[in-house]
Homo-oligomer: A and B are copies of this chain.
Amino acid sequence: MKATLSQIEAFYWITRLGSFRAAAMQLNLTQPTVSLRIHNLEESLGVRLFKRAGRKMRLTDDGTTLLPDVGSMMQLAGQISARQRLVDPLHGRLRLGAPASIALGCMAELLGTLEKRDARFDVALTIEKSSILQRRLNEREIDVAIVVEPDVKPHVRVAPLGIMKHAWFASPRLSLARRWIGPADLMPHQVFTQPEPSNLMTLVMTWFGSAGLEPKRLGTCDSISVIARLTAAGEGVSILSPAILGTELCLGKVEMLKTRPTLVRPRLYLAYQADKVGHGMKLVIQAIRDCVIGSSLLARR
């Protein structure tokens, strides 16, 4: 077996921080994993590196001998992987925007994915409606954003992500899920959606309009998650993305309605500053793609 960088890295941090646990924290690993790495390193070098001293570990002579070389190695490794960061326009801070409907469905996963792929940023999140995000992109106040049907200046590049999935949802107490539902069937119910101008409102009005109707009781709320809560509580019906109702759907607190006509399906896009494209941006874009596709935000093509 051969020594690997991750083993050496574990050794380095243990000696710097004084304990296996602390090294594990530093490396975003668990303590057993660090133990294992050291075990394997000792195995491959054929030398014991630590000995127990009370409840701490102390370096053996062989371990101490190794120390300077390990230090140089970590420094070199740092140099090698840090080099491109100097020229990466997106270094340090990532200003990321998304509409609430998207953010609720996949933002947690997205941040986790970036972390896991060692794309560390100080993230500045902007959760706003697409129209506002678009304006802030145009004014270069955001690096990347997920938006619906954008119309942006030339310095902002746009790439399609897919077609969003939406549906009408209602509490099972309203007993609406068993049969096909049309605009006339929802007329007696309180409808919740976001205030104008918003994609959700457009969706609602278009759907009712297709039957020449308008919803009779139309409530608005600018927070998607509050709309979801109200719907689950049986206070009304709403158009939402299934992705943000994962828990409620599993628990049976809301039901997806089978509606006719079908809802218009808005297109989802990725928009980003052209002059910030570099390694960091590519990582972010790929992570967003993976997470959006991995979520249930999109209609299967």
Report B-chain residues with C-beta under 8 Å of the C-beta of A72.
Answer: 72, 76
A83 touching B118, Cβ below 8 Å: no
Report B-chain residues with C-beta under 8 Å of the C-beta of A4.
Answer: 4-6
Contact of A46 among B6, B62, B278 (CB under 8 A): B278
A279 touching B46, Cβ below 8 Å: yes
B73 touching A76, Cβ below 8 Å: yes
| Interface assignment of A81: CB less than 8 Å from any CB of chain B | yes
| Segment among A63-71, A97-105, A246-254 that sits at the interface with chain B | A63-71
Residues of chain A having any CB pair with chain B under 8 Å: 1-6, 8, 44-47, 62, 65-66, 69-70, 72-73, 76-77, 79-81, 83-84, 88, 117-118, 278-280, 282-283
The CA-CA distance from A77 to B80 in the complex, in Å, is 15
Residue of B nearest to A278 (CB): B46
The CA-CA distance from A272 to B255 in the complex, in Å, is 74
The CA-CA distance from A79 to B68 in the complex, in Å, is 11
Q: Is the interface of A mostly helix, strand, loop or mixed?
A: helix
A80 touching B73, Cβ below 8 Å: yes
Contact of A65 among B1, B45, B83 (CB under 8 A): B83
User: How near does chain B come to A255, taking the closest CB pair, in angstroms?
Assistant: 42
Most B-side CB within 10 Å, residue of A8, A65, A76, A81 = A76
Residue of B nearest to A62 (CB): B84
User: How near does chain B come to A266, taking the closest CB pair, in angstroms?
Assistant: 33
The CA-CA distance from A120 to B208 in the complex, in Å, is 77
User: How near does chain B come to A158, taking the closest CB pair, in angstroms?
Assistant: 23
Residue of B nearest to A74 (CB): B76
B118 touching A2, Cβ below 8 Å: yes
Residue of B nearest to A73 (CB): B76
B46 touching A84, Cβ below 8 Å: yes
**Interface pairs (6), CB distance under 8 Å:** A1-B118, A2-B118, A3-B77, A46-B280, A69-B76, A76-B76
The CA-CA distance from A169 to B148 in the complex, in Å, is 79
User: How near does chain B come to A44, taking the closest CB pair, in angstroms?
Assistant: 7
Contact of A117 among B1, B69, B80 (CB under 8 A): B1
Report B-chain residues with C-beta under 8 Å of the C-beta of A118.
Answer: 1-2, 44
Report B-chain residues with C-beta under 8 Å of the C-beta of A46.
Answer: 84, 88, 278-280, 282-283
Report B-chain residues with C-beta under 8 Å of the C-beta of A45.
Answer: 80-81, 83-84, 279
User: How near does chain B come to A38, taking the closest CB pair, in angstroms?
Assistant: 14
A-B CB proximity, top 9 nearest: A46-B279, A5-B5, A46-B84, A73-B76, A69-B80, A47-B84, A3-B81, A4-B5, A45-B84
B81 touching A2, Cβ below 8 Å: yes
The CA-CA distance from A71 to B66 in the complex, in Å, is 19
